[in-house]
Amino acid sequence: MDTTVEQMNTFFEPKAVAVIGASRRTMKAGHVIFKNFVINQRRNLFKAKLYPVNPNEKSILGIPCYPSILDIKDEVDLVVIVVPAKIVPEVMKEAAKKGVKAAAIITSGFSEVGNHELEKEVTEIAKKSGIRVLGPNCLGVFDSKTGVDMLFLPETKTLTTGDEVVATPRPRAGPIAIVTQSGAFGAAALDYLTGKQMGVSKFVSFGNKADVTASEMLMYLLHDHLTQVILFYSESIDNGREFMEVARKVTCKKPIVALKVGRSEAGARAAASHTGSIAGSDEIYSSAFKQVGVLRANDLEEFFDMGKALAFQPPVSGNNVAIITDAGGPGIMCVDECVKQGLNVKKFSEETIAKYEELKKEGKIPRFATNYNPVDLTGSVTSEMFEDGIRILFEDPEVDGIIVLGLHHLPALQEDFVDRVAELRKKYNKSVVACDVGETEMALHIRSRFDKLGIPAYFSPEDAARGMACLVKYGIYLNKHGKFDHYMTAFMERKNR
């Protein structure tokens, strides 16, 4: 498999890139893509060599253009192909002659619209010459470290008011990799993660999967030390056995969160007409994922929420969860979702209850606080009370993970409760997820502060419960396969770097 890793690496860390079909016309994909590379070169982010190829142009953005890849003197290891579908075989033949190693074919108009013959022709050229092909009909690659950016979706757009606004942002560097079959979904994911201040290591959209498979990309990401969590969007998996084998290896070291769509019959029919793929029975996917430790998300929001939990916090090896809150109602909502997710929200031990009673006697938490589970600190809560209240949960060996529902609205609660919780978390190293509800200034601030301190914060009690459930499911899987301690060591090393 080391060959695969090396081959895939060319898409992300090429030495020399030729953009075949680069264009001067600003609305064309060939322009946007070439410009991405040029800008990243100027930013000193993209450091490899860059060549525009187009027989009809002399220069693009001030860079001399080559009529064919064969006119380039130096070696080229990666080509990005943006020419019309029918010319792709010819261009591929030239790339083969040039000794290119990898080709990302952005162009659409292949098997997804019934042109199976054309796609076959391309893959046969590739097979013969040893070129690995990503796509066709894909968005290609975005790499936040090397500056490879094949996205033809413009970073900004101009509104009718004349305002230029961010349209398809490129997220900052971070621990999350995105592997997606759908380009449109991929763009949406980049937009979502950027807006939510989450960083991305690598992004790859593989479209029709004529050659490079999802499994190969997953294998590659296993070896990529910048990637810690893999978000995997799929409409179909062709070689199930290969996928299972690879996923099993990956999930022992890195979590994979899967959004597998086409669950319903009507959805599967839509998937078939989208990328020409046959979806297969949904139950089979669910049970296969479970078997190899792939965590399945139920919808778009959960997909990102799970990624966030796993990027921020270590997994949890047991399913006893404690909830601490200042808001009774949201506490109940959280319990309901925990139970639905198979988590255990059990009554605390007598020792823990006694500790809370002691705090009440000392006046350190409200006399009417509930000290079963959830702990409800009530409307009289202060930041100190949150700190004292949560410490007991960190100390309780029967509590595996903690959900903090700190609704900021109550008069005496100050923002510093967030820092207090985060400080304690560092000391005890027990996984915590948080929630504050609201969409105005202070709610946004509290959630962002939690995030910055490494505690994933969610906008609803149910989302927080689902975030915790994901940590528990992954922790139990790792534990069952004897990989928990190893993962934890690696996780802690990363966090301390």
Q: Which is nearer to a second copy, 75 or 423 (CB)?
A: 423
Q: Which is nearer to a second copy, 187 or 404 (CB)?
A: 187
Give 396's contacts (C-beta < 8 A, 6+ positions apart): 322, 348, 349, 351, 352
Q: Which is nearer to a second copy, 83 or 437 (CB)?
A: 437
Report, in Å, the least distance between residue 280 CB and a second copy: 14
Q: Which is nearer to a second copy, 20 or 32 (CB)?
A: 32
Q: Which is nearer to a second copy, 154 or 318 (CB)?
A: 154
| Cα 299 to the center of its chain, rounded Å | 14
Determine phi and psi for 180, rounding to 5 degrees.
Answer: -135, 140
Report, in Å, the least distance between residue 330 CB and a second copy: 6
Longest dimension (CA), the chain: 84
Report, in Å, the least distance between residue 235 CB and a second copy: 6
Q: Which is nearer to a second copy, 181 or 213 (CB)?
A: 181
Neighbours of 440 (CB within 10 A): 7
Cβ contact 179:221 at 8 Å: yes
Report, in Å, the least distance between residue 180 CB and a second copy: 8
Q: Which is nearer to a second copy, 131 or 359 (CB)?
A: 359
Q: Which is nearer to a second copy, 340 or 452 (CB)?
A: 340
Report, in Å, the least distance between residue 110 CB and a second copy: 11
Report, in Å, the least distance between residue 62 CB and a second copy: 23
Q: Which is nearer to a second copy, 361 or 480 (CB)?
A: 361
Report, in Å, the least distance between residue 452 CB and a second copy: 14
Cβ contact 204:11 at 8 Å: yes
Report, in Å, the least distance between residue 457 CB and a second copy: 14
